[in-house]
A and B are shown apart, each in its own frame.
Chain A
């Protein structure tokens, strides 16, 4: 069975990710400290809840400097939801911690950019300026903060006439604002694509 690195730092729904990847024969190499990381494998960075809490947990487990050093990653690094948000430079949600700075830009409070109700919860169609099987497909979003300005955005969705970034990609670093592991079959197919 194929494996990917799963950054285990006490945040994120481990079981949902494990179960969804199991359906495409991908097993997890649990990386609970940098020493257990295997650079021959793709990597998943989970995250739910609060930005500061995620960064604090990463720091506690000695992951911050490790994740900031791009040379550690030969294969894809895929961040999901808050796992994607902490890949940015900073967030309006954070009072204490800066982000990992893998992507330039900021995570903003969606309330301040015209979103009427937060969190946004539900299935949204994503768009992009390139041909892909995954464009115009629906994915499950649940978030109160997000990114609206990034040079590396390759896909976005629209809510209350505001454009919110859905997929960020810079070389082998990928951030997904939605939850592919909760987005039915199409979400699993997308994970399969990034972990090919």
Chain B
């Protein structure tokens, strides 16, 4: 299981919110990324939480700078919806792109992307939470309700070629309540031939990492790393 530090970026700063809202400033993303690289991160992920034109340039500049010092895969997500943006991001030194919101307008975008860059560089993200007894998909950092049930969306995604699926539990994000095992199990039953990455709520004092290793291909961690609750060096694939 790859350990993937997740760095959310706003106006050039590393920030962290709760349940994908109320982001507060944490520090310089360059310093955090470099530290995580040295501590054994298998991969590092950057999320542009504003996804405006101005912020996009900032995140590309951050990735460009970081790629001169960090030699593990870098992925970038947040509001990506056209090939001009994608080229800019790859040209900054990124290896993988996250897609979510735009897929609710154009699901075939995955196929168009795959034909140019190959499926391995696409990470499809799903932001989900329970609503009246069912998991539903959300987009725009959990703000917009798609009205589509998670299981229906997974069924549609199953026919596309892409590198991995990132499942984000909106209600656990930034809460350190532990990962949502029920959700992981649900997704695994539906989609078992795809690499599965989970994001939301990891807490080393609650979660059983060896159990997670058996069930996930990747684990994204933000707050537990930013607050120094977790040390990757005994758990990352790269160092173990």
Binding site for B on A (CB under 8 A): 13, 15-16, 19-20, 22, 48-50, 116-119, 121-123, 138, 140, 142-144, 179, 181-185, 187-188
Contacts and interface: CB of A to CB of B under 8 A. Distances in A.
B71 A183 contact: yes
B208 interface: no
Residues of B contacting A: mostly: loop
Contact of A182 (B73, B91, B118): B73
13 contacts: A16-B71, A48-B121, A49-B117, A50-B118, A117-B193, A117-B194, A119-B120, A121-B164, A121-B195, A140-B42, A144-B120, A182-B72, A184-B37
A184 B233 CA distance: 14
Interface of B: 2, 37, 42, 64, 67-68, 71-73, 90-93, 95, 115-121, 163-164, 193-195, 217-218, 236-238
Nearest to A124: B237
Contact of A142 (B37, B90, B120): B120
A143 B163 CA distance: 9
A49 B116 contact: yes
A170 to B, nearest CB: 26
A122 B42 contact: yes
B195 A184 contact: no
Residues of A contacting B: mostly: mixed
A143 B115 CA distance: 15
Nearest to A48: B118
Contacts of B217: 117, 121-122
Most chain B CB inside 10 Å of its own CB: which residue of A50, A117, A184, A188: A184
Contacts of B120: 48-49, 119, 121, 142-144
A67 B231 CA distance: 46
Contact of A13 (B95, B163, B193): B95
A10 to B, nearest CB: 11
